[in-house]
Chains A and B, each alone.
Chain A
Amino acid sequence: MSHKVIVPIGPYHPLQDEPEFFRLYVEGEKVVDIDIVIGYLHRGIEELSEHKHFDQVTFLVERICGICSTSHPFAYVNAMEDLAKIEVPERALFIRTIIAEMERIHSHLLWLGLAGHFIGYNTVWMWAWRYREPILDMFEMITGNRNHYAMMKVGGVRRDIKNEDIPILKKVLDELVPAVDMFRGAVTDDPVIKARLKGIGILTKQQAIDWAVVGPTARASGLNIDVRKDDPYGVYDRVNWNVIVEKEGDIFAKTVVRILELYESIGIIRQCLDKMPKGEIDANIKDVPPGEGIGRVEAPRGECFHYVRSDGTNRPVRHKIRAPSYMNVASNKVAAVGGTISDSAITLAAVDPCYCCTERLIVLDKHTDKKIMNGWDLIKLSQEKTEKLREAIK
């Protein structure tokens, strides 16, 4: 006799701090289908944007998300500068790039820590977050805040990077490299992690295309797409760096992509700090003509897309925002199906979901409606699987 058991995940997913609801349909150990319910964080930001003037919108969209708080303002100002054909001063472009790459570093380290915790590697968790701290300190030094930097402005940036801060930032980056070496070694040399993450949660290349996923989720499935290379903004086309692509599409590949991207980000920031010219940081835009513009950036999770329409007044007539997780979370419909319950939590977390941007797990017995597992049970299940693998490999 086989009856379907429903495993709902959420709205408060144990791995993240944001609400989202997954309903997993399980037969025995295997996940056979999944419902994804979002909207718990929908705040009507696109509607709000129509009531703000163009400078206020930057602050509004920054609050879409705490982790990728620079990506939305960056994509928005790119859209406005596309609309009005604004030339942004050189120094501002460099500063924007530096801030964006610092954000990528701290975001990827956050994910690395959470993923580590999730599969039972609490040491990875502690160390990843420990090495994240200096980056947040640098943000505070440059912008005054650990999150929500308020750096972007239509036509430039709001604050400069002081000369005396540059050697301090460079030192932090230098000290980060051996830490990233450590994480890379920990992940690629550990047979247990390999056994735990390889072949799990696979998103094939064709699925990545059909679901139009972006970011590390796409690049881990063999799609060589990265807005920084494809549609360069900031100064990404003036520094040397590589797009990281892996082929297997499993969680191991997604992890490797994010770790290797850390090296690239460190390299980009160093080159920017060396090449950054003196000069103005703001084009002092006063008016915006009627028109429409599209701006996008490669956020830590993938392409962040903003479309703005103006009618010559000082507010957007329409502001469409599409965060990367909107595409990536939806793809769990295929990536999480076919796997086991103990892998489901890490699979769902592997796209590095940001529900704020996009807009949670429980296990119910379908027949009795009794909750048989909650989120903590699922993490425990996931950690236990790692232990079993460790025993098997010994």
Chain B
Amino acid sequence: MSIADEIKDKLASKVINWHEHSVKRIYFSIKPGDIREVASFLFKDLGLRFATASGIDTPGGFEILYHFSFDKSGQIISVRTIIEDKQNSEIDSLAALAPCFEWIEREMWELLGINFIGHPNLTHLLLTEEWPEGKYPLRHEHK
């Protein structure tokens, strides 16, 4: 079974919009509430490597793409989820799953203002401690 088939099989009820941009670039969407289960399946069960996550401010909400790499085949599986509520945006932290998720969640918190529920250390990573609260540099509000 290819990695794509395994995912579609085991996560069937969670997968929305499966899109294969190419053989090596696969994207699928999930509801924010499912991220822990999906990430755990990809990281722990399938043994995919976590490459990074991209947070994007879109008109429809904060979109987060979690990029997982299947090194044996060179495929990147990107899990997309959209947090519609921008006023109180939050999603479960994946820090309990493995330490590799900690830094990027801090970065998305400080640059976009997304709260990662359960993160052990949601403090500034790149910005100074004196950075004004409520100012999120990667939000598109001012544009």
Using CB atoms and an 8 Å cutoff, list the residues of chain A in contact with chain B: 38-39, 42, 44, 46-47, 82, 85, 209-212, 225, 230-232, 291-294, 296, 303, 305, 307, 309, 317-318, 320, 322, 326-327, 330, 333, 359
Kindly list chain A residues whose C-beta atoms are within 8 Å of the C-beta of B138: 46-47
Kindly list chain A residues whose C-beta atoms are within 8 Å of the C-beta of B109: none
**B118 in the interface, Cβ–Cβ < 8 Å?**
no
Q: List the one stretch of B30-38, B45-53, B83-91 in contact with chain A.
A: B45-53
Which secondary structure dominates chain A's binding surface? mixed
Flag if A210 contacts B102 (CB, 8 Å).
no
A-B contact pairs, 10 of them (CB 8 A): A211-B99, A212-B50, A212-B51, A225-B49, A232-B74, A303-B69, A309-B56, A320-B52, A322-B52, A330-B103
Kindly list chain B residues whose C-beta atoms are within 8 Å of the C-beta of A303: 51, 69
**Contact check: which of A293, A305, A307, A359 meets B125 at CB < 8 Å?**
A359
Q: Using a CB-CB cutoff of 8 Å, which residues 3-32 of chain B contact chain A?
A: 21-22, 24-25, 27
What 1/0 mask marks residues of chain B from 125 to 138 whose CB sits below 8 Å from any chain A CB?
11110000000011
Nearest-neighbour CB distance to chain A for B80, whole angstroms, equals 10
Flag if A212 contacts B74 (CB, 8 Å).
no
Flag if A42 contacts B67 (CB, 8 Å).
no
Flag if B22 contacts A82 (CB, 8 Å).
yes
Nearest-neighbour CB distance to chain B for A309, whole angstroms, equals 7
Flag if B137 contacts A307 (CB, 8 Å).
no
The answer to whether A318 and B49 touch (CB under 8 A), given A39-B125, A46-B138, is no
Nearest-neighbour CB distance to chain B for A221, whole angstroms, equals 13
Using CB atoms and an 8 Å cutoff, list the residues of chain B in contact with chain A: 21-22, 24-25, 27, 47, 49-52, 54, 56, 65, 67, 69, 71-76, 78, 98-100, 102-104, 124-128, 137-138
* Chain B minimum-CB-distance residue to A318: B56
Query: How distant is the Cα of A82 from the Cα of B75 in the complex, in angstroms?
Result: 13
The answer to whether A305 and B52 touch (CB under 8 A), given A42-B127, A326-B103, is yes
3 shortest interchain CB distances as A-B pairs: A231-B74, A212-B100, A320-B54
* Chain B minimum-CB-distance residue to A44: B137
Query: How distant is the Cα of A326 from the Cα of B67 in the complex, in angstroms?
Result: 15
Flag if A225 contacts B25 (CB, 8 Å).
no
Query: How distant is the Cα of A353 from the Cα of B70 in the complex, in angstroms?
Result: 25
Query: How distant is the Cα of A303 from the Cα of B100 in the complex, in angstroms?
Result: 14
Kindly list chain A residues whose C-beta atoms are within 8 Å of the C-beta of B22: 82, 85
Kindly list chain B residues whose C-beta atoms are within 8 Å of the C-beta of A294: 25, 67, 76, 78
Flag if A230 contacts B71 (CB, 8 Å).
yes
Kindly list chain A residues whose C-beta atoms are within 8 Å of the C-beta of B75: 231
Flag if A305 contacts B51 (CB, 8 Å).
yes
Flag if B51 contacts A330 (CB, 8 Å).
no
Kindly list chain B residues whose C-beta atoms are within 8 Å of the C-beta of A359: 125-126
Max chain B CB contacts within 10 Å: which of A209, A293, A303, A320? A320
**Contact check: which of B27, B74, B98 meets A210 at CB < 8 Å?**
B98
Kindly list chain A residues whose C-beta atoms are within 8 Å of the C-beta of B127: 39, 42
Flag if A327 contacts B100 (CB, 8 Å).
yes
Nearest-neighbour CB distance to chain A for B41, whole angstroms, equals 16
Kindly list chain A residues whose C-beta atoms are within 8 Å of the C-beta of B52: 305, 307, 320, 322, 326
**Contact check: which of A42, A307, A327 meets B126 at CB < 8 Å?**
A42
Flag if A307 contacts B100 (CB, 8 Å).
no
**Contact check: which of A209, A225, A307, A330 meets B67 at CB < 8 Å?**
A307
Flag if B54 contacts A318 (CB, 8 Å).
yes
Kindly list chain B residues whose C-beta atoms are within 8 Å of the C-beta of A322: 51-52, 104
Kindly list chain B residues whose C-beta atoms are within 8 Å of the C-beta of A333: 99
